[in-house]
Structure formats: C-alpha cells, structure tokens
Structure 1
Amino acid sequence: MKFVKAAAIREAEQQAIQANPPLAAEMMGRAGEGLARWVHFISLQAGITDRRVRLVAGPGNNGGDLFAAALMLEDVFFTPEVWLACSVERLQGASKYYFERLCDCDIPWREMVNEADWPLDATEPNAPPIFVDGLLGTGAQGAPTGVIRRAIDYLNAQSQVSLIVSADVPSGMDADTGAAAGAVVRADFTVTMGFPKAGMAAPAGWAALGSLSSVDIDLPREAAAQIPDGAPGIRWISEATVRDILPRREVAAHKGALGCVQLAGGSAQYPGAMVLAAEGATRSGVGLVQVTTAPASAAAIAARMPEVIVHGDYSADWPMNSKATALVVGPGLGRDPEARRFIARLLRETTCPLVLDADAIGVLEGRPDVVRSCPQPVVLTPHPGELAELLGQDVDAIQSDRQKFAMMAAEQTGAVVVLKGAGTMIAQEGQATWLNLNGNPGMACGGSGDVLAGLLGGLLAQGIPPVAAACAAVWLHGMAGDMAALQHTQAAMNARDIAVALPGAFKRVAVR
C-alpha cells in the first residue's frame, strides 16, 4: 500500500464528499467502527476484563472518529467516556452529528477547555485500561500548545499503566515528516484511516507510532487511485497485503502438495535455535518440516515437536533433501570452517529457494557478491549488525538509512534482503522497498529471528514468491509479537511466546 501526503488525502476526501455529501458521515462511521474493533481486539488479547475506555477528543475529524467509536464500543458492552479538549460549539459537520448521537445515547462526556481541567502529569489512580487519542489529525502543524499540549501530557502519563491507541496519527506527529515539533502522544497502537501517511515511512515517527494498522473507510476507488504517492519507492505491508498473499487450501490438499521446508543448522553451542526455527516453520501452513541438525538439537526437537522429521547427522557434506521446496540455513549454525564450506556448497548446489539467516550470513565474510552465483532465489535475513558486516559498514551507518543499505545489499547480492529491526525493510533490486510497521520492542529477544526464519522458509516452501513470502512472514511475525506482548508484556515475553501466538496472527488474515 502506498503512503500519502496529508494535503493529498484531505483533497481527495473533500472532492468525494462534495460529489456525495452523505459520504462524510459514512466514512467517519467506518473510521469509528475500525477504531472500536481494534480496541475490542486489544482488550481480548490482553485479557482485560475492565470494560472502561476513555476517548480523548479534539475539535477536528479525529474527534468525530472517536465519537463514532464510542457509539460502537457501547454496542459491544464497553463503557466508553469522552473527554473533550475543546468547547462543544467548535464541533462541525459529521463530528457534530456523531457527538449529538453520543449525547442521545447518554454516553458520558466532559468538556475540558482549560489546562487546569486536566489532571497533573502523573498516573491517574484507577485509570481505564485503554485510552484512545483523537486530539489532533493530519492537518496539525507546529508544536501543540495550551489545552491540547496539556491533554497530550496527560495521555503520556497514563501510558505507564494503560494502553494508548491513536486515531489516524499520534497527536503531535507531523503526518508528512513523522517529526514532532513539540509534545507528541506515544501510542502503543495507531489505527490510520485509509492510507498510511507519508511521515509514517520516516524513522523519526516510529517511536510515537507504536504498531500500525489501517481501516478501510470506503473512499471511492476513483478518488483513491488519483492520490499521488507520498513516499516514492516505499510500500507499507498492511493486513490486506498479507491476506492477498496467503494461499487458499484446496479441499483435496495433502501434506505432499503443501511443500516441504528443510531446516539445517543448530550447533552444540546453540541447540535451541533450531527448535525455535522449527516452531516457526510448523506454524506456517507448510505440509512437512524436516530438520537436519547437531545431535544436541535433534534430541531437543524430537522431544518437543513430534510433528517434525529430525535428523541428527548434520555435516558440511550432508545430502540435501531432493523433496524440499525451500531450505533454511543459519540459526545456531556457528562460523567454523565446516559451516563456511557448507554454505559455499549450498550456494552452488541448492535446487530450491534458500533462506540464509544469522551465521549463514556471517560466514559470507563481507563478500555479498558470492550470493549472485546461486542457481535459486535467495532471501537474506540480517539484523543491522550482520548487514553492517556483510557490506563493510558500521551499524550506526546502517541504522541512519535502513532503506538505502537494504537496497545496496539487494543490488550486490541479487537476493531479497529482509533487514530486521524496528521498521523491517524488504528490498529487491529494481523494486520498491516494503516496510513493516507492526511489532514492538519486546521482540528484541534471543530466538525471535529464528522463529521468523522458520516461518519465512515455510511460506517459501508453499510456492509463494520470495518478496511476497518475506512480506507475509514479517507481518505475521510482528502481529504475533504484538499479541504476545499484550498477553505477557514486552518485558516478560520471549521467542516461544511469539511462535505460540502465530496461529492468532494468521486468524487476522485467514478464515481457515
């Protein structure tokens, strides 16, 4: 999905509304419904039994989205209340319409037009578990002042103990640049309306953005098509993107028709890496998962995962499985001479798509060009340190321009490059870069990348093209990470929690 500039999306919406005036209320209703659905989803995943939701609204259309959301939330047995950071007289159009409906339904609200009306910058005792931010929208520029600034400070204080969901953009973020001139809401989740905004493609905004999702507000297709690209060369991986990628299972499907992924690696020093990669692979939809690994890993996998075919005879001369439709190498591999010889052999002889992760990238020893000789598609999944080593750069340089260096690696290797970390980038030579914006800092834990490698290999093995498989894998992995964090907190979650949450992530995009 393309990113768009704020002025361009506003113009498209205004033109559509001029042609069909009732569309204003219809689109706001869709936005409110989408917000309410996300609040409901978050509440269920986090096991929250307290049904209170406080919606903090401003005078613009974002505030109207919150009024519509409050109506929807009450319909599904939440207890919403609205805090209004402006006078009621400032509400206009569709926002006024939904506010009047809110009043008709006796949903409680408070008009808080003075800075003194807002509590001090400290966590409120007995605060609701979820807050929704709709103070400022895409038209806001400059540093927030007065009551709006005070309300932002209040929301950020509550974020210590409550979850914050921002509508469209976090209040205080410049929708075009991602920068914040002053105070900005630090959201856990942002639900953007229609297209993602150009500033969301910029690293400057990622700390405030949280995990990004979108709501289809039913902007007419003709109007949407005319909106110019606000971030040329970058595309966002949305829920809809992944839904279109995942294959539908045929009625007569059997395990042999659904692919076979072969995982190879797992040294005696890192026996758990193959366990986690196998966990990711078995939850990908692939028909068969086979693992060739060191004896220590083989025993652990065989004991934990009876559905996996395990061979404990890994060596550099290990015979590749002729039935494999994708191969994943690297988790726990090590960097000894035997590992180097093994990777060199695979790059010459593999007969199926190949995922190189972790040590399998490290043993390339700064020679990205050797990957080009591989007769099959290759996907590299480096973290910033591994990419820095591959390209002869330092990590700070990589992080300063992730898109540039991901594309540089793709051009030098001829591979699809998945640069992991906040704002995961998927690059292919000559193509737009795909950007993933879900997930959370709790995923920065040992083994998280192993789960991703196995999941990606399983998707590749089903015949999904490499870029599409990478997009689906990183989105599913990120969504599973968000679900794990809601269930266990970011601090206490681990890589196994991500793997266990993968079925729930699939349920977001697949019905069977």
Structure 2
Amino acid sequence: MLIYTCEQMRVIEENADVNGLSYVEMMENAGNACAEKIHSTIVGLNSATKTVAVLCGSGKNGGDGFVIAKNLCDKGYGIRLVLTNGYPTAYESKIMYAYLEDKPVLVSDLTQNYDACVSACMSAAAVVDCVFGIGFHGKLDETTSKFFSAISKSRAKKFAIDIPSGLEGNSGKIESDFFKADYTLAITCYKPVHILKPASDQCGIVSLIDIGIDEKCYEAVGSDVIVSAEHNEIKRFFKPRDPVANKGDFGRLLSVCGSRNMQGAAVMAASAAVESGVGIVDCVFPDAAYPAIAAKLTEPLMNPMPSTKEGFLRADNLKHIIELAEKSTAVLLGCGIGLPEDTLKIVSGILANVKKPIILDADGINAVSFNINILKETSAPLILTPHPGEMARLTGLSVEEIQNNRVKVARDFAVQYGCILVLKGSNTVVAGPSGSVYINRTGNAGMATGGSGDVLAGIISSFVCQAMSLQSATIAGVYVQGLCGDNVQKKYSMHGVTPTKMIGEIAEVLSNFE
C-alpha cells in the first residue's frame, strides 16, 4: 500500500491538471464516485428516512460535497445541505454549488441556524463530512467543534470525504474534536492519517476513491512515498531454503548484550534470533551474568568475558569482541549492556573497527548519543532501533516533537546518517538512507512492555544474517514481531502480552511466510 502526504497529493493534482484533467473535472469525478459509494452503502438500510445531510465547508472539500448532494438528490434522496462556514469561496466549489440551484435541496448555515443543522444530522440516514480536507491544521473553531460533538450521537451512518474534519492528513495525532466517521472515502490515495494511530482509529472503514488521475502524474513525487507493506509483500522477502543447506548458510550472529542486572535482555534477544532462523548465535556478555544466562539459553554459543565489579563488560574485551565480529555475518549490540564508561569505549570501538552490519539497540544507541558523529565515520552498515526516548537523546528533540512528526524525524535522521532507522512505537516507522519510509500496522498496545525491543532486535538481526537486505530484514522484523504480539493478545488478552510469549509465537508466524 502506498501512502502520500498532503503536499504530495497537491503535486499529483497539479500534474493531473497540466496533463488535461482539470480541477473542475477532478472535483466532479470525486463527488460522483463518493456519491455512488455512499449510495451503495446505505441503499439497503432499513432507515425510516431517506435523507442525507451533507456538511460543506467553503473550500474545495465543500465542492466535493456539492457534487455528492446533486448526485444523491438525483437518486431520490432528500438532501439537507449544511454550510459550516458560509457560501463557497473556492472557484471550483462555486461552480458545483451552482449545479444545486434547481434541485430540491434544503440549505442551512451553521453560523446562523445551529439547532436546525444539528436536527438535520440527527434525523438523517447518513451524514457526509466535506468540511475540511488536506489543508487542515490545528484545531477546529468552537462552533464546528461543538457541532461535531453533538452530531456524534446521531445514529446515521457517517462518511468523511478524504479525511475526517478536525484531523490532520499528515499525522496520527488528535488535537481537538473531530468528525467521527464510520467510513472514510480517501480521494485518489491513502494519506498518513489513514494508517497512523490514534487518528486512524477514527476513520472507520477506509476505501480508496479513483478520480481518474493517470499513473504518470504520481511520478514527480519521487522516492519519498510512504509504504505500508502487506502480507504478500513481506512474504517475498523470505526465500525457500535449499534442501541440502547447512547451518553456515543461514548466518552467524554475534550478540553483544546483557549485564549482571540485565541478563534477560541478552536471553530474549538471542532466543528471538534463534527462533527466527539464524544458523548460529554467538553470545558475548560479562561473566558476572553467566550463571543466569547459561541457565536459560541452550542453542547459542557462550562467550562470557571479564566484567567490571558492577557487572558490565570491561573495555579491555574489545579486541576479543572484534575478532569474533570478523567471523560473524552481523553484530547485535546494546541490549542490556548498561552505560558505564567501559560500554562507551566498547560501542565506539566496535563502530570504528567492524565492517559487518551492526544492529544498535538500547544502550548501544544511548552510547552513540554521546558522540553522534561516529555514525557518519563507521564503515559498518547500520540499523538503529530507538524508542522515542532514545530518539530524543539522539536528536536533541523532545519526545513530544518526535511523536508529533514521527515520519519526518525518522526519515531526516536516516538520510543524514546513512542508516536504517526504526522508530518504535504505535505504527513503528522504518526509514532508509534514500528517504524511503515504511509504516508498520501490525502489533498492539500490549507490546508496550520491557523486553519487546530486545525481541525485535533479535528478529531483525536474525533476518540480516539470513541474507535479507538490511531494509527488507528490518521491515520484515517489525512486521513479524507485530504479528507475534497480535497472536499473544488474541490468546491471552492485551494485558497478557509478554516478550517471552512473543518469542514463542515466532515459529508459527514464520510458517505463514514459507
């Protein structure tokens, strides 16, 4: 699934206009197609009324509404037209409004007859929101906000055209009251709001509306298109195994994870990697953590190394770690390693000397935040998997700034530092050095628990070792972990999701990709 920003949508429309499909024609096509979709959805309803309330703003989105009103009126529906901000001001919308002059349409102005507008929506079979479109930012005015809150109690089917009014097209944030839709009819293409939580949950069932724009009009937006991969696309990342393959064919992962008080991070990361199919896992950890880790891991090779008195890896282990890295396919670095001075030296030393792919997680990321330029100096291909707090330390931005601009922040960082960036959270974002962006839609809030990141790091690292490209391995890893979390949630409840249970689901989830 391709997702385009509101700015890209404007470019696409400009290209269509230049190539012979005028804005007036696009508006007519959009309105007619939306009217057909609305009609096909409500025609079978056992409603006491056959009235549709169409809410129209003064801009171009209102123009779509006027076309919808005309089309549904011609089909025999009674139309109550609600003007939320007076008569149309956009050129194309004025043309469409003129089409209604000889139609039996009742028109009410929200600013002049609020109660009549609410009544029209409460008694209608359907309410169609054509108030604001892709240009909306900020918060609704007090009257419109109050109006949307009132009509949310209506039993009518509620349709939003393109974007529910009150939501911003490029984000998943909710800042004010909004039109609560049962259905959203996305014009031409999906926008970020249709898939980013929590706003996407307010869009209802999202359908794509074709308005006749030629495919060549999309080319000008370049490689900045956002992608939400589906199951069949992910499945292509997994290649059939050779019947005569051996363990060496599926890679060797060096896991530099864990400390005396965080042995679980090393255990979960290594276990997830093993369950995800890597050939061999080499675990490096401080010897102070050996009893706990050895008691829980069976498949991986153990490389306990001298620890500090606090139970962290000593910096003088660096040479040995680099030697092991040279024999490995990829290196997972950071889960539970802590943040003493020795860790900073180990992380910087590995980045400076290892040329194999490195997956940086947790304290590996925190260590880098003290010297961010090392990301530009390393020769190793990099995958970073920060949560918003770690991303804040990397960028100097606040968590709020990051959460409000997840796609842009992830993309900008990946491009600037030439890495794969995984910004974890609801709708995890995977950004590549070319500016590509993938938004994940699997997973649930139950996965917001300590250890989930270790599981994800292990899965991604395992896929890298099995000869997937870094970007494919990362996208697949995020998708697979989300499915594991969804499986656990279905079996045990949202509160019952744990990292260990997710690891137990990996094999079953992967069976769907063979």
Task: Give the shorter-chain TM-score range.
Answer: 0.5 to 0.7
Q: Does 1:238 align with 2:229?
A: yes
Counterpart in the other structure of 2:83: none
TM-score by length of 1: 0.64
CA-CA distance at 1:393 after TM superposition:
2.6
Count of aligned pairs between the two proteins:
402
Q: Is the 8 A contact 1:260 1:325 kept in 2?
A: yes
| Corresponding residue to 1:499 among 490, 503, 508 | 503
Q: Does 1:285 align with 2:277?
A: yes
| Corresponding residue to 1:149 among 148, 152, 171 | 152
Counterpart in the other structure of 1:468: 472
Q: Is the 8 A contact 1:290 1:308 kept in 2?
A: yes
Change (3 A) 1:426 1:87: same
Change (3 A) 1:475 1:363: same
Counterpart in the other structure of 2:98: none
Change (3 A) 1:467 1:152: farther
Counterpart in the other structure of 2:452: 448
In the alignment, residue 178 of structure 2 is paired with which amino acid? G
After superposition, the C-alpha distances for 1:198-249 in whole angstroms (9 at most, x for unaligned) are 4326666245469x9x99x9x9xx9777667999824223223322222332
Aligned partners of 1:191, 1:307: CA distance in 2, in Å? 51
| Corresponding residue to 2:431 among 406, 427, 430 | 427
| Corresponding residue to 1:61 among 7, 18, 37 | 37
What secondary structure is seen at the aligned counterpart in 2 of 1:363? Answer: helix
Percent same amino acid among aligned pairs?
24
TM-score by length of 2: 0.64
Q: Is the 8 A contact 1:185 1:208 kept in 2?
A: yes
| Corresponding residue to 1:342 among 343, 346, 356 | 346
In the alignment, residue 237 of structure 1 is paired with which amino acid? S
In the alignment, residue 233 of structure 1 is paired with which amino acid? D
Aligned partners of 1:191, 1:437: CA distance in 2, in Å? 19
Aligned partners of 1:402, 1:485: CA distance in 2, in Å? 25
Greater Cα radius of gyration, structure 1 or 2: 2
Counterpart in the other structure of 2:97: none
Aligned partners of 1:433, 1:345: CA distance in 2, in Å? 30
Q: Is the 8 A contact 2:162 2:186 kept in 1?
A: yes
Residue ranges of structure 1 left out of the alignment (5+ in a row): 16-57, 68-81, 97-112, 119-134, 156-165
After superposition, the C-alpha distances for 1:326-372 in whole angstroms (9 at most, x for unaligned) are 11011110011211111111112214100111001111243211122
- Any residues of structure 2 matched to 1:163-202 within 5 Å, and which? 176=169, 182-184=178-180, 196-200=190-194
Q: Is the 8 A contact 1:384 1:395 kept in 2?
A: yes
Q: Which moved more, 1:226-235 or 1:469-478?
A: 226-235
After superposition, the C-alpha distances for 1:237-276 in whole angstroms (9 at most, x for unaligned) are 3223322222332222221101111111201011111111
Counterpart in the other structure of 2:333: 329
Q: Is the 8 A contact 2:163 2:169 kept in 1?
A: no
- Any residues of structure 2 matched to 1:5-24 within 5 Å, and which? none
| Corresponding residue to 2:481 among 452, 455, 477 | 477
| Corresponding residue to 1:405 among 380, 400, 409 | 409
Change (3 A) 1:252 1:208: farther
Change (3 A) 1:363 1:204: same
Change (3 A) 1:272 1:137: farther
Change (3 A) 1:347 1:193: same
Q: Is the 8 A contact 1:152 1:183 kept in 2?
A: no
Change (3 A) 1:329 1:198: closer
Residue ranges of structure 2 left out of the alignment (5+ in a row): 22-33, 53-70, 76-119, 133-143, 307-312
Change (3 A) 1:386 1:346: same
Q: Is the 8 A contact 2:160 2:179 kept in 1?
A: no
Q: Does 1:370 align with 2:351?
A: no
Q: CA RMSD in A?
A: 4.7
Q: Which moved more, 1:328-337 or 1:420-429?
A: 420-429
In the alignment, residue 3 of structure 1 is paired with which amino acid? I
CA-CA distance at 1:175 after TM superposition:
9.5
